Chain A
């Protein structure tokens, strides 16, 4: 347990950036709604841990997202909180009480599944009433509560339909109603919008956000879509290969990515392998760089967001100013993305509405404080482990 404690303090030291603390902390004992302590999960037959030594605190009323690509362990984390999987190591605490080994039906936690998991043989009302029925709610109470829950997700009038008679978005709403009707402390959403098309997804994002504010329930939202995660969350954890790469507020994660993985996964980023020459001067290949602060190490990676790079004559006064040649141009609708070849480095910059063709000369630059030094992917965790050992 000691090592877990140490680690969690390290995690917070890495992530203790200023952030909007969720307003509604419980007055009771202040224990987080969900706490993971050194949780690892290895599936039988698998040799790699799906989740590796994870620590997490989620506060009351928070909208917390777990963001990661396929196989990053985000769904496994969620399933351990829900109780569908048991951690091979470590503990899952709900409201400060150790819930490891507690079956899902004894947890005051509800899940919205990616494929909704509506019972196909039950009508909408029976589906929504199911949790109440299982909790032994008196019959007279069930009906009004079902009506209320359906109204909350604007599905009044669909009570008598079977799931297969509903559209994807409607099924999604029913699943939400079913998950919320028992007024759980915690709602888990497993890629709830993954199966919807873009238009519906945007609509449902608003519905979800609104609902969360209205009911005040803690949401844990698992997604691979960075847009969703950034838009919805109070805090988010970026996962990769079973590790949490960074845990912070959306703005923090976007502006100050901790690792090169986060920098590349969230939005676009130019990652430059640099070596320090002297003080705050460095060299990336043949490109000389001026840094905002002296780097701690000899070799490091620098992340520069394309939108922080100034293109054209405005860039002339900046400490980092370069003249280069346009490689390729991608037309993205609202703007143009230009690949520039500067020495032996290739960077992506945003050219706005300016028109460039391959081969054109281009000048660009950035102010040193816009470039962030990021740790190499995974090494951050590995360092921690070696420190523990």
Chain B
């Protein structure tokens, strides 16, 4: 592998961009393929499957088999709101293999005591997301009930193409939220991506049960997601 290819590969990985490499029949890594790009030797559905599953494979081509390796950023969950649901969600997410960050400017909620060992950011989402941008491999769950806190990150999540966007609140609350997001300039089809009421419909009632419903919803969105287009992914 050429050194510049290795550099570009590492750069994509550090920047949380999904990327694949293709080796020739001799065992030399010869090409990088970014998510959403086409490759002449590799059928589109093989590439799409690789980017969805994160699993490398041998690709049969005329005259042999090529090795397709794939590197996905670790999926992560950003929760807006240091509430009871988040307290239950944090350990569950870790067990399921998802990184998790909680953002809440209300320092009475966002305390080390309540969230031991959790990546907790006791600041406004507007400030945190400046240095911690959302991306296509991130799920956003907004659970504060407070439009002042939830609206901005929801809007950013739609723009960033987060693989999951969920918002807590009744249908009535959500109808008002839709009005505000339309006023922000989001289209109805964008807004329709928001899972609201949040979580799979399992009749969850307690914070712990709602956390299960939210995590299941996120896992389902991640494992069944369509492959993002490379637009806006330029490094």
Partners in one complex: no
Binding site for B on A (CB under 8 A): none
Binding site for A on B (CB under 8 A): none
